[in-house]
Amino acid sequence: MELTDRQAEVLRKVVETHVSHGQPVGSRWLAEQANLPWRPSTIRAELAKLEELGLLQHPHTSAGRVPTDSGYRYYADELLEEGRLPVPRRDFRLTVIRREVEETLRATTEQLSQVTNLLAIVSAPPLGTTTIRHIEVLLLQPQVAMVVVITSTGGVTKRVISYDHPVDPGLIDWAGEYLNEALGGMALGARMIPAKLADPGLGSGERTFLATLSPAFTELEESAEDTLFVEGAARLLSEDRVQELSQIDDLMLLLERRVALLSLMREALAEPRVYLRIGHENRAPALQSLSIVAANYGLASRNLGAVSVVGPVRMDYAQAIGSVRQAAAELSRFVGELYDE
């Protein structure tokens, strides 16, 4: 859609004023407050044209106008043009050096929600990018053993197994050595893991004991797959915004059912630049009163996850886009150091 420079400037002022004040914007106010060099009658004519183009709408209770989803989309697309995106008012930085991916992703989600005052969602790297670094098998009590698994991303999981009879300490030592040799460096979820645990070349006693330890790796696989970190629901549902979110019940259901959120983050993962869906551009009904801004993070060779904020259509897109981009860049730097790439 092609707009004249004057129409584009009027639309920009309407969007920014409405985002800031939350009220319909009229021609007289624009002429007096927005430093526009045109008379109210000229601005009024341009507002009418923008409404005719579907970029503004005219609430029947007010003489002013508010942006439509299309109006916000035009404004956001203009922001994304090279050199048009303002520097975010608040900088995003991971100020603490963190070793574990899970801890870093959680910290990123919390900070992103605080910076933008929106719901923040960050997806973890996929299962196949994490490998087993080290395994410990410990005898806690004569009839209680524990398996500790340390992954390449610094994650640590523990599984305690109880037995009906005392366990041979020699079997414990053997299991630790065998598992490190057989599974060390293997990707989580690899098809070879069950085969290694049930290797027919092992004695029946060893295979039986390894079968009791196998849930430690099943649990590890399940916990590592499709992990989402979500922060800021209370901010999104604050009193001054509830009236904008016409589908609160659907949104809360969406937050409880992670499948839809996972689908959303996978879509964002495939977007080469900034993933942006405004209002009714979202396919999920629960998201059609909201906007989503997301960006990928990862390595030069592949994307590992996505960083996203969700909020009302009336959001500060400059702040949201800039913050999401910064968060993604920080996570990319972090995982690049972690994976030595």
Sign of CA pseudo-dihedral 108, 109, 114, 118? positive
- How does residue 249 score in pLDDT terms, banded at 50, 70 and 90? low
Percent of the chain at pLDDT exceeding 70: 80
Q: What is the CATH number of domain 101-126+226-338?
A: 3.30.450.40
- Considering only 86-90, 117-121, 130-134, 229-233, which range has the smallest mean pLDDT? 86-90
- Across the range 208-213, mean pLDDT stands at 93
CA distances from 131 to 101, 128, 175, 191, 206 (A): 13, 8, 19, 13, 24
Gap between the Cα atoms of 132 and 334, Å rounded: 19
**For the CA atoms of the chain, what is the radius of gyration?**
26
Residue 23 Cα distances to 17, 47, 90, 149, 172, angstroms: 8, 15, 25, 55, 69
Q: What is the mean pLDDT of residues 236-252?
A: 63
Who wins on pLDDT, 322 or 248? 322
Please answer whether residues 315 and 75 qualify as being in contact, where contact means their C-beta atoms are separated by less than 8 angstroms: no
The CA-atom distances, in angstroms, between 100 and each of 26, 71, 156, 159, 241 are: 52, 42, 9, 19, 35
Nearest Cα residue to 9 out of 35, 48, 40, 39: 35
Tell me the per-residue pLDDT of 287-326, one tens digit each, with 9 for 90 and over: 888 899 999 998 887 888 899 998 888 889 988 999 999 9
**For all residues of the chain together, what is the average pLDDT?**
82
Q: What is the pLDDT of residue 225?
A: 47
Question: Residue 165: its pLDDT value, please?
Answer: 93
Q: 57 burial class (0-12, 13-18, 19+ CB within 10 angstroms)?
A: middle
Question: Cα separation of 56 and 176, whole Å?
Answer: 66
Tokens of 192: 């070879």
Q: Which of 30, 105, 90 is nearest to 316 (CA)?
A: 90
pLDDT band at 83 (very low <50, low <70, confident <90, very high): low
As a whole number, mean pLDDT of residues 137-156 equals: 84
What pLDDT score was predicted for residue 37?
83
Characterise 209 by phi-psi region: left (phi > 0), alpha (psi -120 to 50), beta (else): alpha
Q: Which residues fall within 8 angstroms of residue 198, CB to CB, at 6 or more apart?
A: 207, 210, 211
Q: What CA–CA distance (Å, rounded) separates 295 from 271?
A: 8
CB 122 within 8 A of CB 229: yes
Residues 327 and 92: beta-carbon distance below 8 Å? yes
**How many Å apart are CA 186 and CA 121, to the nearest integer?**
29
Give the CA count within 13 Å in the CB-facing half-sphere of 140. Answer: 12
- Strands across the sheet with 274-278, in order? 228-231, 119-123, 303-312, 290-298, 274-278
What pLDDT, on a 0 to 100 scale, did the predictor assign at position 224? Answer: 47
pLDDT at position 339 over 70 = no
Q: What is the pLDDT of residues 114-128, one digit of tens each?
A: 888 888 999 887 655
Share of the chain above pLDDT 90, in %: 34
For residue 21, pLDDT beyond 60: yes
* Residue 112 CB neighbours (<10 A): 28
CA–CA gap between residue 230 and residue 309 (Å, rounded): 10
Q: Work out the end-to-end distance of the chain between its first and last CA atoms, rounded to an integer number of angstroms.
A: 42
Domain 5-67 belongs to what architecture? Orthogonal Bundle (1.10)
Q: What is the pLDDT of residue 154?
A: 60
Look at the domain 129-224 and name its fold: Enolase-like; domain 1 (3.30.390)
Is the model's pLDDT at 68 over the cut of 50? Answer: yes
Give the model's confidence band at 137: pLDDT under 50 very low, under 70 low, under 90 confident, else very high.
Answer: very high
- Give strand pairing partners of 337: none
Angle between helices 204-224 and 169-183 (to 10 degrees): 50
pLDDT band of residue 53 (cuts 50, 70, 90) is: very high
Q: In the prediction, which pLDDT does 300 show?
A: 82
The pLDDT assigned to 180 comes to 93
pLDDT at 79: 77
**Domain ranges (residues) in the chain:** 5-67, 101-126+226-338, 129-224
What pLDDT sits at residue 106? 86
Position of tokens 């994976």? Answer: 339
At residue 219, the pLDDT reads 64
pLDDT-based confidence at residue 129 (cuts at 50, 70, 90): low
Q: pLDDT-derived band of residue 144, with 50, 70 and 90 as boundaries?
A: very high
pLDDT of residue 222: 53
CA distance 98 to 290: 32
